[in-house]
Structure formats: structure tokens, C-alpha cells
Amino acid sequence: MQSELLDFKGRLHPLTLLFGILKGLRGIPLIPLVFFGGRWTWVLPILFMFTVISILSAFIRYFSFSYHIQGNELITQQGIIERKQRIIPLERVQEISIEQSVFQRLFDVVEAKIETGGGQGAEATLSVLSRSEADRLRRAVFDRVEAIKARGVDPELVQPPIPRERMVIHRLGINDLVIAGLTTNHLVSAMVLAGALWNFADDILPDTIYQRAADIIYSLTRQLAAQGAMQAIIIAAVGVFSILVIGLLFSILGSILLFYGFTFSRRGEDLHRAYGLFTQRASSLPRHRIQVLKIEEKMMRRLFGLATLRADTSGRTRENEDDNEGRDVLIPIVKRAAIDQLLPVIFPDYISDRAEWKRVSKLAIRRGMVKGGIFCLLVASALFTYQREFIALWPLLFLPIIYLVNLIRYRNLGYAMGDLYFRTRHGWLGRSTQIVPINKIQAVEVSQTPFDRRLGLATMSVDTAGQAFTGGGPHVTNLPIAEAQTIAATLAQRAGTTNYKW
């Protein structure tokens, strides 16, 4: 068995040449054309040069690229003049995710992205491999990783056999995806897209069609406007409504395109997600790589008792919170009640950890009110000085609403300190819960703004690997300073007595 594991080599699939050439061809014509307009004689030799260069580099990249597994490392090599060698320790490989665009599917080739704990995204991208080769690579890497781990383990301990089949935990059908599309917070951006598309129609559609459509709409509007302001309002409402509908349709379409056939399954320690319509994605995630689990109940979804499950893992960077390719999403949409059953699957020792939610200081409500109140006051006084009428003070009517918002926010704010897991929660319309295994905590911080200091409060935050967006990690605001220091110290000590496993 050992000898089997020793020798593993591979090259990219020959079709890499084709894709590389196509990529090169695609990139060229635009820039020179933009610059030189119709002066073809200038452009042609430059075009030719660019094409030759990109084809040549595609050739070089394909022929010089190789990878092999040696000892405990995966080594990729590239380049002829400048040999670039990348050494990836196998135990640092978090995940090898497989992606396949529509075009690649025609030829049954895939892209394999190797991600490690560095958090810089893909450490190495193998584009393209045949699907069987990708699976072979995946198996080779993860079998070796298991072998490495097994060597470090007390042979007295009996390892449970790793099951060969996947246990499907959750599947999403078209209905779920439609609901996901209908309830997304992206609605605004979907509507913006719809609006932008209307502008584009101007450029894309032949002038005559656009003109005729515009004429019809204008004449209709004029007719109805002539019949009074009411009709005009109705038309405007219809216009807004149709943009809304188009936006919703886009959203549903996007949801289906992205998460089609979503399957969340488990095989031993491995959580597996497969989804996508045009670009199919499949990725594995060992359970213990999850640093923070987030249960997101955004406004619309919360209304229907739905939520999104996301995970921060140590091999992942996210540029922004709405990572559109869904890479950090464990399950895009799921019933909130069902999550309690799912948690033990993701965190095997979670069931024993039923700590209670603790609230923060009530002063939080006062602070929110003060902030909101000052804002309203400013707006009201600005309007008042401008308009000189009492009616201009209408922003003050928002004060009771501000109180309500802050009350709700206060009730949703809290933390729960268990033996093995630390939870935080916040939000008002939407609600977000974060669960951190204490052994994943890297550092803890207690900070006080000058306002915090005056009120004797503090913010406590927990740092883990793998968060890259500016949302911040698990944190609790408005804690009494003594309590914050105590919790922080407890968490730090508990974290310190556990070993951090990549």
C-alpha cells in the first residue's frame, strides 16, 4: 500500500492548449481596436504579434506544467526559462474544489483549485484536467493526508472506518431556489440590474424597435396623464412594479443558475457541497476546518422562518460579504427549525453544549436612542431652518420608532458561553448568529471607544482564521467592562488549553 502512495505524477489535459489559446484570442482585439478605430493597417501586425505571443505562452504553460506528490508535499512546476516551483505541504491542503464551466463541460474537463490554510484563496489552480484525473488527484491527496494523520495517532486507539458512501443531509429543489430568489436581500441590486438593462436596451436593440416601444409608452402615458394625476400615479406605480417583477425574476434566475441541484452531504469527516447549472461546482470541506458557523436570517427570509448557513474556513478569503459564487455557503436556504438538527452534523460535540443566551447592558438601548435621536434632531432642525414651518419637524416623529428598533436590537443582542462553543447574536430586522468552536479561537480583544468608557461598557471580539471581509468576526457590543474582561479571559484561557489543528 505504501508503494502505491509514493508515486503520483500528473500533467494538465491537452485541451488546456485549446482553452489557453481561446483565452488569449479573446483578450486581444478589444484594446487595439478601441485605440485605433478603423485604421486596420496599423492594427493588423500588432494583433498578429499579440496572438502569436499568447498562443506561445499557452503552449509553454501547458508543456511546462506538471505536478507530483513527493513525500508529504504536493509540488507544482511551471515555466521553461523561469522555473516556478510551488511546494504545498499536504496537511495544509484544506480543500480541492472542482469547477466546470459550460464550455468545459462540453469536453468533460474541470478546473481544480487547491486551497490551503493561508487564506489567500487558491494556492494553485490546475486548469484544465479531465474529470477522472481530478478525482484521482483528489483521492491521492486526501488519502495521503489521512495516512499522515494516522501515523500521528496512538495505534491503540481504534479509528472508526471511513464510510465510502456519501450521506446526503440536505437537498435543494427548484421550489427552494425560487423561494431563495424571492426572498433575497439582493433584490435591490437585482432591480438596479433591471433598470440598467433597460438603459442597455437603448444600445442593443435596433433603433427602430426601441423608438417604437418608447413611442408607445410615451403616448400611453400622455393619454393617461391627460386624464388626471391619478392615472399618472398609477402608471408610475405600474412602472415601479414591473421593475420589481423583473428584478425578482432575475433574482430567481440567478439563484437557480448558481445553486441548481444543491446537495449537501457528508462522508466521514468531510462535508460535501455540489451545485450549479452552467458552471458546476463541487467542493469538500473537512468538518474541523470550519472556524465560524454563521446562521444568517436576513429580513425577508426571517419572515418565512428561513435562514442561510455560512462557514468561515481557514482556507478561504472573501472579498465581500455577498460572495457571489457561493463558495462559503454551506446551505443557501434552509428552514430555521431544521438547523438545530443539522448542527450536530457539522459540530459533532455540539449537542452537549446548551449554554443559555446572556444579554448585554440595557444601556445599549439608551445609546441607540441617543444616536438616533440626535440624528433626527439634526435633520429636523436643518429642515426647520430651511422651511420655517412646524411641519418641517416631522423627523421627530421617528423617535418612538427608533426606540422600538433599539429595543428589538437589544433583545437580539447576546452571547452564550458553552464549554466547547461560543455563540454571539445580533441584528434587528435580520438576525445573525455566529457559532465559534472555542478551540478555533486565535485571539480575543476587548475594546472601548470614549463613549464606551463613559458608560462603563466595552466590545468584546473573537478573532479566528479565515475571515476576510469587513463584517468583523464574532463580537458582542455594549457589555459591562468587567464582564467583558472576564469572558475574554475565560475564552482566551480555554482556547489556550486546546490545540489548534489546521
Partner 1 sequence: MIEEAREEQITNGQSFSAGGEFRSLDPRVVKLWLVTDLIGYGFLLSIMLISLLVWMLVQPLLSLWLIAGWVVLAGICLWFSFWRPSRAYRAWSYRIDKQVLETRSGIVFHRTRLLPLSRLQHVDLERGPLERMYGLSSLVLHTAGTHSANLRIPGLDAHEAVLLRDRLVEIGGEDAV
CB of 198 vs partner 1, minimal distance in Å: 40
CB of 210 vs partner 1, minimal distance in Å: 49
In the complex with partner 1, the residue whose CB is nearer, 239 or 496, is 496
Interaction of residue 254 with partner 1, rule CB under 8 A: no
Interaction of residue 24 with partner 1, rule CB under 8 A: no
The correct pick among 5, 443, 456, 482 for binding partner 1 (CB under 8 A) is 443
Interaction of residue 120 with partner 1, rule CB under 8 A: no
Q: List, as one string, the DSSP characters of 133-198.
A: HHHHHHHHHHHHHHHHHHHTS-TTSPPPPPPSS-EEEEE--HHHHHHHHHT-TTHHHHHHHHHHHH
Of the candidates 169, 348, 324, the residue with the CA atom closest to the CA atom of residue 254: 324
Q: Would you say 106 and 280 are in contact if contact means Cβ atoms under 8 Å apart?
A: no
**What is the DSSP code (8-state) at residue 13?**
-
Distance CA 444, CA 463 (A): 6
| Candidate ranges 8-16, 221-229, 409-417, 442-450; the one touching partner 1 (CB under 8 A) | 442-450
| Candidate ranges 180-188, 377-385, 419-427, 443-451; the one touching partner 1 (CB under 8 A) | 443-451
**Binding-site residue total for partner 1 (CB under 8 A)?**
36
In the complex with partner 1, the residue whose CB is nearer, 381 or 439, is 439
Of the candidates 263, 277, 275, 280, the residue with the CA atom closest to the CA atom of residue 167: 263
CB of 409 vs partner 1, minimal distance in Å: 23
CB of 144 vs partner 1, minimal distance in Å: 23
In the complex with partner 1, the residue whose CB is nearer, 79 or 496, is 496
Q: SS3 of 339, please?
A: helix
In the complex with partner 1, the residue whose CB is nearer, 306 or 360, is 360
CB of 458 vs partner 1, minimal distance in Å: 8
Per-residue binder mask for partner 1 (CB under 8 A), 58-97, x = binder? ----------------------------------------
Residue 77 forms beta bridges with which residues? 66, 85
Interaction of residue 163 with partner 1, rule CB under 8 A: no
Per-residue binder mask for partner 1 (CB under 8 A), 447-476, x = binder? xxxx--x----x--x-xxxxxx---xx---
The correct pick among 3, 41, 175, 499 for binding partner 1 (CB under 8 A) is 499
| Candidate ranges 20-28, 246-254, 300-308, 437-445; the one touching partner 1 (CB under 8 A) | 437-445
Q: Would you say 333 and 179 are in contact if contact means Cβ atoms under 8 Å apart?
A: yes
CB atoms inside a 10 Å sphere around CB 425: 19
Cβ burial 58-77 (10 Å sphere, 16+ → b, else e): beebbebbebebeeebbbbe
CB of 178 vs partner 1, minimal distance in Å: 35
H/E stretch holding 476: strand 475-480
Per-residue binder mask for partner 1 (CB under 8 A), 304-343, x = binder? ----------x-----------------------------
Interaction of residue 117 with partner 1, rule CB under 8 A: yes
CB of 115 vs partner 1, minimal distance in Å: 15
The correct pick among 446, 455, 480, 483 for binding partner 1 (CB under 8 A) is 446
CB of 345 vs partner 1, minimal distance in Å: 24
Q: Would you say 416 and 423 are in contact if contact means Cβ atoms under 8 Å apart?
A: yes
Of the candidates 448, 460, 452, 463, the residue with the CA atom closest to the CA atom of residue 484: 460
In the complex with partner 1, the residue whose CB is nearer, 368 or 466, is 466
> Which residues, 200 to 219, sit near partner 1 by CB under 8 A?
none
In the complex with partner 1, the residue whose CB is nearer, 90 or 441, is 441
Interaction of residue 495 with partner 1, rule CB under 8 A: yes
Look at the block and give the residue holding cell 435633520.
Answer: 379
Q: List, as one string, the DSSP characters of 184-250.
A: -TTHHHHHHHHHHHHHHHHHHS-HHHHHHHHHHHHHHHHHHHHT-HHHHHHHHHHHHHHHHHHHHHH
Interaction of residue 276 with partner 1, rule CB under 8 A: no
Of the candidates 336, 334, 327, the residue with the CA atom closest to the CA atom of residue 276: 327
CB of 88 vs partner 1, minimal distance in Å: 17
Interaction of residue 153 with partner 1, rule CB under 8 A: no
CB of 494 vs partner 1, minimal distance in Å: 8
CB of 189 vs partner 1, minimal distance in Å: 26
Of the candidates 327, 319, 303, the residue with the CA atom closest to the CA atom of residue 120: 319
Interaction of residue 496 with partner 1, rule CB under 8 A: yes
CB of 292 vs partner 1, minimal distance in Å: 10
The correct pick among 442, 457, 480, 482 for binding partner 1 (CB under 8 A) is 442
Distance CA 322, CA 400 (A): 32
Phi first, then psi: give them for residue 36, nearest 5 degrees: -100, -5
Distance CA 330, CA 346 (A): 10
Q: Would you say 89 and 71 are in contact if contact means Cβ atoms under 8 Å apart?
A: no
Residue 304, Cβ density class (10 Å: 0-12 exposed, 13-18 middle, ≥19 buried): middle
Chain contacts with partner 1 (rule: CB under 8 A): 117, 119, 314, 441-450, 453, 458, 461, 463-468, 472-473, 485, 488-489, 491-493, 495-500
